[in-house]
Structure 1
Amino acid sequence: MHMKVPMEEKPFPAWSWSVDECLEEYGVKLEKGLSSNEVQKRREKYGWNELAKEKGKPLWKLVLEQFDDMLVKILLAAAFISFLLAYFEGSESGFEAYVEPLVIILILVLNAIVGVWQENNAEKALEALKELQCESIKVLRDGYFVPDLPARELVPGDIVELRVGDKVPADMRVAALKTSTLRLEQSSLTGEAMPVLKGTNPIFMDDCELQAKENMVFAGTTVVNGSCICIVITTAMNTEIGKIQKQIHEASLEESDTPLKKKLDEFGGRLTTSIGIVCLVVWIINYKNFISWDVVDGWPTNIQFSFQKCTYYFKIAVALAVAAIPEGLPAVITTCLALGTRKMAQKNAIVRKLPSVETLGCTTVICSDKTGTLTTNQMSATEFFTLGGKTTACRVISVEGTTYDPKDGGIVDWTCYNMDANLLAMAEICAVCNDAGVYFDGRLFRATGLPTEAALKVLVEKMGFPDTKSRNKTHDALVATNNMVDCNTLKLGCCEWWNRRSKRVATLEFDRVRKSMSVIVREPDGQNRLLVKGAVESLLERSSYVQLADGSLVPIDDQCRELLLQRLHEMSSKGLRCLGLACKDELGEFSDYYADTHPAHKKLLDPTYYSSIESDLIFVGVVGLRDPPREEVHKAIEDCKQAGIRVMVITGDNKSTAEAICKEIKLFSTDEDLTGQSLTGKEFMSLSHSEQVKLLLRNGGKVFSRAEPRHKQEIVRLLKEMGEIVAMTGDGVNDAPALKLADIGIAMGITGTEMTILVPLFQLSLRVALFIIT
């Protein structure tokens, strides 16, 4: 039992405690929740559950920053001197004498206005974080559930109920599962592509990676499967997303000058010195025109000084200085950069800050996230296999396409318009033993539910209808239905057909023990059948038969089992997530199950019976899925290599998946030794500073997996200290601190992070027009 101490002085992290210890520590009961009085006390201590609002720069400071540039300072000095000269010459030249200083001032003022405008539109990263917080949540207070309590009112110790679709309002410890499984989508926070399975068991590790905290749910993530009761552990700025905000703020304080600004400042300094020396020399060499004297016995006497002539030649020297100063240079540079951003915008690359165009050309290292950047962040079936005419023959079939669009790609050399028994069983399991869906949001096809299940439904659509008769009968009705529904709704014709054919009557949810999910369906002949999908090894252990292509059942033997495991290993080595498919026809007391009034229904309420129901299975086949690389990535990697730019991958995903993707995009060769080339974030941070620097040299450190936001930020910081110009690409909240710290931060894709707000195109067009006019 942990010793009780004040909440802000916990000696051990909450994930290593049991549920009872957490409840005792926070002085709360799971069935009662906090009292109103206790909530008030804790709010006074911890404050509201909301991210701190950073104070923006005052307008006057933003304006002054626009003039903090060597060339601009030179122009200001030139304008001031030109004004003085114009003042003295005003009576002779009239208003024309003031044209030059007024033009210089106008250029600088317009430059400052656009700079302030752009700055105000750029600093919105922290506001984007606030949008990730949920607005209300179901909370237990005074023994009663408050269904829609504002999330900002949560305090540590609150008891919260989470359901499918809920956005997590704070970092919380899972106390009890209300369903057999609980999964959360936390890729934006961790970079892990797959939803994470959560549980209640303590994790006995003090230094635990974010991804490994399987009994914790984090603010800003979303529940995609199941429901649970949680204890609020930390709120506001103490949450993981709050820590990311702190890192973003710290990174903003470390912003350094771009290579272009450094060069311009250096040029401005040299130009100032040169002009000053030249002007001084010009003024001095004319000294005889305003100073005269007589020489007596070698000494000057009768010295005469003409102030008027001295001023005249001083004006000449100043005029020379003004003429030498390139007052049009800032306008020309800004115009060129603005035209560059406009050209990039035509290629769907919108630039937030104009100097980034030049900095991008100086880049020496690109640090790229994997999920959603190198990959599509959309699961898709890549290949599947079933047995052929005998137990020693496997049919491996490849699938093309990288998105949830059923028309994106297809099955390679697919001629099975009349499917055999194995393919029929596979299509039925993928379509019916499935809770996911696919919809079109006007731009992209997206998944509802688990990404793997959505990918299986897309696979069914690519397989098509089981025979010509079914295809012709369903096509007209499907076209009519799709014409009547909302354009954002997508009817998956083949999956609809299978679900109408095989009526689902019961569901055996996934759990950690058996690692599978199954459904009982009523077949057209009136008989019940069990359809199962899950971990391949787990299904093989519970399978007694395999089904051949002609539909015959053969007892599974060691040779057949070895063949299946060999195929599984081949698919897994490609970085594929493999799902086994199986079925069962003889269901015993469940053979006539129809509803919750059936005598055997009580067994379906107890997950301990599920393993016995899912026994003596008929193994059908395996589907390999993955988050595939974007089609353009391989060429981009080659272009970077030819340009002398080093590419590094920093991802929150697991090591084997990251390595497999990097081999596929040719960052690694197939047989390359990855020692020193591939490390986890934890392994990198455990190295000394000198070892880290050595690793980041040209020949090492290409892939960093299981990387948390602080790991990404530290890698970028070290590269900058080594003199590299670093570009960081990413599409998740976890990438934001590194994006902010890097010389160039690039938010990727239509579904990219809101953490890097980009300047709209109309602003770029205005800035181009503004400086062309001036």
Structure 2
Amino acid sequence: MVLVEKMGFPDVKGRNKISCCEWWTKRSKRVATLEFDRIRKSMSVIVREPTGHNQLLVKGSVESLLERSSHVQLADGSVVPLDEPCWQLMLSRHLEMSSKGLRCLGMAYKDELGEFSDYYSESHPAHKKLLDPSCYSTIESDLVFVGVVGLRDPPRGGVDKAIDDCRGAGIEVMVITGDNKSTAEAICRQIKLFSGNEDLTGRSFTGKEFMALSSTQQIEALSKHGGKVFSRAEPRHKQEIVRMLKEMGEVVAMTGDGVNDAPALKLADIGVAMGITGTEVAKEASDMVLADDNFGSIVSAVAEGRSIYNNMKAFIRYMISSNVGEVISIFLTAALGIPECLIPVQLLWVNLVTDGPPATALGFNPADVDIMQKPPRKIDDALINSWVLLRYLVIGSYVGIATVGIFVLWYTKGSFMGINLVGDGHTLVTLPQLRNWGECSTWSNFTVAPYAVGGGQMITFSNPCDYFTIGKVKAMTLSLSVLVAIEMFNSLNALSEDNSLVTMPPWRNPWLLVAMSVSLGLHCLILYVPFLADVFGVVPLNLNEWFLVILVSAPVILIDEVLKFVGRNRRLSGKKEKTA
């Protein structure tokens, strides 16, 4: 038995290895090749020895070569018949090597080649048989078994971490390989797909064993949670496993590099080919090609895909909840019968300019800290489900109520939570009067005092009823400012669908902070530039009024934090029920 480390031979000079290969090439001339196929699981060459006689040299599956061998060559060079005890000894040594994760390759030869003993070229009478693969098993019979080469192909660093990430993300990892069963199981233990002492009954099958099961047993085996390995798998086995998983409603990603993987890669929802070692056929059949042939890159792509999807939902969540708030504010104004708290040009400014930068910046949100601890969404999951819609409506309702509420407060209340609202000297009215402002001409003894706005300007009224049209400019400015401020706070809520701002602080997305600053700057521009203030029908606000705006706007964060808390509990409850 020979152990060959695939990583190289540190005690052998590269020059000596090349010389060795040249020596064998000069000594034995290859005159024919019997290509590999999956039926006999071997390949061989006919070489012309220096003695002038031909010899058949064979390599392939250990079990397959042992079945076609009649003798075995011992360490001293003697050849003895391959009896049952010797057979069992060879299999036990093979099992010992493969259970250490070695890929075992059997070696054998044959001296008595019959009609091929003097084969030399295509003109030889026996050449036609070399063109027929069905004859290869007959030629490769009555062999002398030499030994086994064990090749160690160490798992790439980080594979165990990637598999652990998949497990946390609810992604089931299955290994389908052509390797020997014990080799495949040992490698799967090395990469932590299975624990060291885990019983693999019902989790490890050869391709033939799995195909021999009934359809019910196959579905039951594939439905089990945890890793699974399929060894000695043929192309049809891979294709059948992928087909069954898709019929079970799973989203299947299949990796491969060879021509024999192409059918399964094509059938899978996402075919992933190796960019370095993969064949062109595999790459053409795939949807994605890995540039570094690293399984960890697939896991990173899953995390990135989830992040992109979440950012898309964040954009939709922000825009819909904000627009719902604007619609509700207009509806409340009409339902209460009060003067319009926002005019069309102000709504257009908010929608087209003020909301734009934060909405764009949400596309740069980093991935949630628990992005790979959430279960995968189902292929038929709605983008907006009932819970998400309820959240839109709750947040939108508060936006609308706050926008209209501050308008009503300015007209009807002298103070709010200790903040003086009549510092500008405006006249207070009752809520019934505000709701019936269109009838103000019939009110007796109704007078309105002038009030001050920014810059020392005073608003006076020749007709008291003008107090609800021309005179509403300060109340309208407060409503517009609340709408802008509340939507800036709402953009912070959109950083994550479920995670609190404590877990996902605003500075995780500095672009959003910049965008909020730009939006608030644009709003201040129309407030404090006289020409723009006249265009948009607003007036400057003092610090006391800005404090009132922030006080009314900030609760939107607390409301969404409560909704996020409820959403996290719903998700955890659903996960526990599914596990149970």
Fold agreement, TM-score > 0.5: no
Give TM class, smaller chain. Answer: 0.3 to 0.5
The structure carrying a bigger helix percent of its residues is 2
Normalising by the residue count of structure 2, what TM-score does the alignment of the two structures yield?
0.36
Normalising by the residue count of structure 1, what TM-score does the alignment of the two structures yield?
0.28
